[in-house]
Chain A
Amino acid sequence: MDVLHWDGTLSAKDFRIGAFAFAQKWESCNLAFPPWSWLPCPKHPWLAPPEEEGYLSLEKICISRPNEEEDIDQISQIDTGEEETCCSRNEDILDDATLVQSNHHELHYCDFHIVYSSTFRVPVLYFRAYCSDGRPLPLDEIEKELPACASKELSKKWTFITQEEHPYLKRPWYKLHPCGTAEWMKLLFLSDTANPKFEVVLELYLLSWFSVVGQVFGLRISFKISN
């Protein structure tokens, strides 16, 4: 099989192999971020690697810009009168040995999962964001944190953010929709002047893929396909 006749997709097995290679490369190149971990899928606990299903996870990446003004949590301010009287019954909420902090700087974090889609036969980037107390952030707030250039260039043409149920965690996560991935992956490799062999293409699939989708979040991975 040569690259010209390739449809831009990846088999589940190649994804698993590629995932480990990707995680290793990431760890060696990327000192600014923690490493990706492979989380085996609980569905088939009897399968040993590399047969087991699973996904790559990178969690609690801080996406806030420094010196952000935080919004006052509107919801927690309802019924304040009632709640204050409820509290005055109780003594000793604070004592002298408790430090009272005035600075309530809210930071925003993001979790990323790279999950294989068997329908589209490509990797898919799932993500969600939350505050330091765990409160989830809606998409429009996440988009404020994304690097400005990325959201304009990429979001219109190659990426489409949707909210869908995470295939393993069964909760709504955001994801970059995979229906265009095979197309632009093929383009990416065809346009590379080094004209690599197909085996090399598969090895480098995840790295190349992430070098595009990661830009939406400002996650850079520096490497060259021709390496």
Chain B
Amino acid sequence: MAKQGSGSILQFAPLQSSVDEGFWHRLSSLKLNKFGIDDSPIPISGFYAPCSHPQVSNHLTLLAESLPSDSNDESTMPPVIRGNRNRCYVPGILYNTNTMEGFHALYKQALLKAEAMKIWEDIHSGKAVEDCAVLSRVLLISFADLKKWNFHYWFAFPALALDPPATLVDLRPASQWFTLEEAESVSAACNEWRNSSVTADVPFFLVSIGSDSHAAVKHLKDLEACQRDGQKLLFAFYDPCHLPNNPGWPLRNFLALISARWNLKTVRFLCYRENRGFADLNLSLVGEALITVQQGWREQQCVPNAVGWELNKGRKVPRCINLAKSMDPTRLAISAADLNLKLMRWRALPSLNLEILFSLKCLLLGAGTLGCQVARMLMAWGVRKITLLDNGRVAMSNPLRQSLYTLDDCLNGGDFKATAAVRSLQRIFPAVEAEGIVMAIPMPGHPVSSQEEKSVLEDCKRLNDLIDSHDVIFLLTDTRESRWLPTLLCANSNKITITAALGFDSFLVMRHGPGPFNSILNLKAETENSLAAGMDNLALTNTDGQHRLGCYFCNDVVAPTDSTSNRTLDQQCTVTRPGLAPIASALAVELLVGILHHPNGIFAEAEIANSSSGGNFELPLGILPHQIRGSLPHFQQMTLLGHSSNSCTACCSTVSSVLLLVLDNCDFIIQVSRILLLKTNICTS
């Protein structure tokens, strides 16, 4: 329908809002750094431009520049940029509340009336004629939830409502109203207006057409002169709307101005729209409106009603936008961490299995020099679930070598290492799921008094539960005997176990072989039957024992190939060259990643590094050794292989089966001492 029937109410297409993400970033920054809890209204600038597309309306836009600067200078006004043809300036105001309740409690009608009042005053004072940009205003109310990064907001574009409303006599495309010569001249004049930086962003103007079809574009203040000339006169405005049957919102206040200031009853208007930066008279509309005399409109004190709150998909509700993904520092840290690993996968290691790393649960026994470094390396590989177990406190000498601690952790007697380490990990990467357990590992050879029986028993149980509930266990303690019970329990549960041990200037990093049972048995089996079945099973796999890779204690019985390093390890060094711990920890984690990417996992055969292997590896991460022994004095590293021993004190099938019996029995402590007896027997046999 190209023409409206005469006498129908003139209906305006509401303005639509568009808020650039930068606006919310700047508002958050201002709130956090400048305004704090001060919720006084903030002056803002809106921007719009004439419609530039036949199917899409232009929006009134807010950008970062719509707000005052968030730098430390004193300016509280947004920068005013004039002369930009695509950003016609609209003065505005923002009421940003400190709470959600405050947001809902705002008396919206009063705020709207206050803004409408400003327009009304500008109309009557003549300011609207001088600087017509003030005919349009934007009112925004918002609540910025800076914890969840939700921004609730509601726009209003104040329009003075004519009462009774204006009626539409005629509305048609401009090309159908002008003659050909007039249309050409109007286009040219408008393009000139739009191209001059002085007038490009002046959104309301006059088009006067002489009898010679020559069109001229004039400022509003030239109205009286134009009227005297008696030429055809159109009231033109930049129309953001694209609709063929309705003019855009800015015409409302324009008509209010025309009626109140110049008392005109019949208004011929031009909705100026463009295509590709030039005037488009097919898209632009020319119409004629009839305004009835308003009651008391010539008096300033009689303020007309105002409308203009924006609907949200047809509903009278505010809008909400969530920007956590681009503003929450934790989310940004996570995506940056992921990016690093994904880049590695894309560029160098397409078979990298990030999912397994993200879901892996690692238990670190020991939060000292080795524990701190291993934890950091694990996080660097994308491991998020880390449990640290240590019963010690951070000592003054620790921060130098134990990379998760600082001086603050040493004060007042020192925090527990396990808790300090978790805190530190969370400071490095907030998304880590870290847990600290303050607990001592029960050790053979250390007598247990009767008062301590119960708690030691509980510790054993707790250790067993911890091992059960994790996928990988790192043995990073500083004594030999503290590694024994965990080794035993890990072998029983067939968990990936990695040991790192330091001498003064040498280290050992190794992965334990699988346990003596090929499948993980339920250690809490209560029936005799299942226990018997377990015993049968063990009989079958006993013969397999030779092919399993050894654990840390298998070395006790199997003669190592390098006797000097063995002696060093026996010395229970607590003093080591500082470079050793980072090297050993890094190798331990890299070894783990190798295991995770090996098709056989814990059952993977061991490989030895030799110079003839060159650069071609079967697996993308390279070989998967059993043991790595390094020596700093030689700057040398060797890969070794050791098979399990049938008489190993920790992982042989005999010990494991006894453990089964023992764990099944509630009288645990007696059984533990039996194990110690067994150990002695095995060693001497």
Contacts and interface: CB of A to CB of B under 8 A. Distances in A.
A76 interface: yes
B109 interface: yes
Interface string B312-331: 11111111111101100000
A160 interface: yes
Contact of B18 (A62, A80, A96, A133): A133
A136 B323 contact: yes
A107 B56 contact: yes
A75 B320 contact: yes
Interface in A62-83: 62, 72-73, 75-76, 78, 80, 82-83
Interface stretch (A87-95, A206-214, A216-224): A87-95
Contacts of B424: none
B316 A93 contact: yes
Interface in B277-308: 305-307
A96 B326 contact: no
Given A163-B335, A164-B339, A98 B321 contact: no
B643 interface: no
Contact of A130 (B21, B62, B252): B21
A83 B318 contact: yes
Interface residues of A, number: 47
B13 A101 contact: yes
A174 to B, nearest CB: 10
Contacts of B104: 82-83, 86
B165 A97 contact: yes
Contacts, number: 133
B56 A96 contact: no
B10 interface: yes
B161 interface: yes
A171 B314 contact: no
Nearest to B166: A97
Contacts of B165: 95-97
B339 A162 contact: yes
A134 B21 contact: yes
A133 B19 contact: yes
Contact of A76 (B246, B309, B312): B312
A99 B14 contact: yes
A138 B21 CA distance: 13
A80 B307 CA distance: 22
A172 B110 CA distance: 38
A82 B104 CA distance: 9
B343 A179 contact: yes
A156 B456 CA distance: 55
A97 B8 CA distance: 10
B144 interface: no
Contacts of B11: 96-99
A160 B10 CA distance: 53
A83 B105 CA distance: 11
B12 interface: yes
Nearest to B243: A99
A57 to B, nearest CB: 13
B18 A134 contact: yes
B319 A97 contact: no
A134 B150 contact: no
A100 B314 contact: yes
Contacts of B22: 169, 171
A68 B376 CA distance: 47
A135 B23 CA distance: 11
Given A87-B317, A134-B19, A97 B12 contact: yes
B542 to A, nearest CB: 50
Nearest to A62: B56
A102 B317 contact: no
Interface string B421-459: 000000000000000000000000000000000000000
B246 A99 contact: yes
Contacts of A162: 339, 342-343
A76 B319 contact: yes
Contact of A92 (B23, B109, B343): B109
A104 interface: yes
Contacts of A76: 312-313, 317-320
A205 B325 CA distance: 34
A121 interface: no
A99 B13 contact: yes
Nearest to B155: A133
A182 B171 CA distance: 58
B17 interface: yes
Most chain A CB neighbours (cut-off 10 Å) among B20, B22, B307, B318: B307
B147 interface: no
Contact of A84 (B243, B317, B325): B317
Interface string A92-126: 11111111111010010000000000000000000
A186 interface: no
B162 interface: yes
Contacts of B325: 136, 138, 172
A94 B320 CA distance: 21
B332 A172 contact: yes
B479 interface: no
A163 B317 contact: no
B73 to A, nearest CB: 14
Contacts of A90: 108-109, 309
Contacts of A134: 17-21, 23, 61-62, 321
B347 interface: yes
A128 B16 CA distance: 21
Contacts of A93: 307, 309, 311, 316
A23 B315 CA distance: 43
B511 to A, nearest CB: 33
A132 B16 contact: yes
Nearest to B347: A179
Interface string A156-189: 0000101110000101100001011000000000
Given A104-B314, A160-B343, A171 B13 contact: no
B346 interface: yes
B124 interface: no
Contacts of A133: 16-19, 59, 319
Interface of A: 34, 62, 72-73, 75-76, 78, 80, 82-84, 86-87, 89-102, 104, 107, 128, 130, 132-136, 138, 160, 162-164, 169, 171-172, 177, 179-180
17 contacts: A62-B56, A75-B321, A76-B313, A96-B11, A97-B12, A97-B161, A98-B11, A98-B12, A104-B314, A132-B59, A133-B19, A136-B326, A162-B339, A162-B342, A169-B22, A172-B325, A172-B332
Interface of B: 9-14, 16-23, 25, 56, 59, 61-62, 104, 108-109, 150, 161-162, 165-166, 243, 246, 252, 276, 305-307, 309, 311-323, 325-326, 332, 335-336, 339, 342-343, 346-347
Given A95-B165, A96-B11, 8 more contacts: A80-B317, A87-B317, A91-B109, A99-B14, A136-B21, A163-B335, A164-B336, A180-B347
Would you list the 9 A-B pairs with minimal beta carbon distance, nearest first? A134-B19, A99-B11, A87-B316, A97-B165, A134-B18, A83-B317, A172-B326, A90-B109, A75-B320
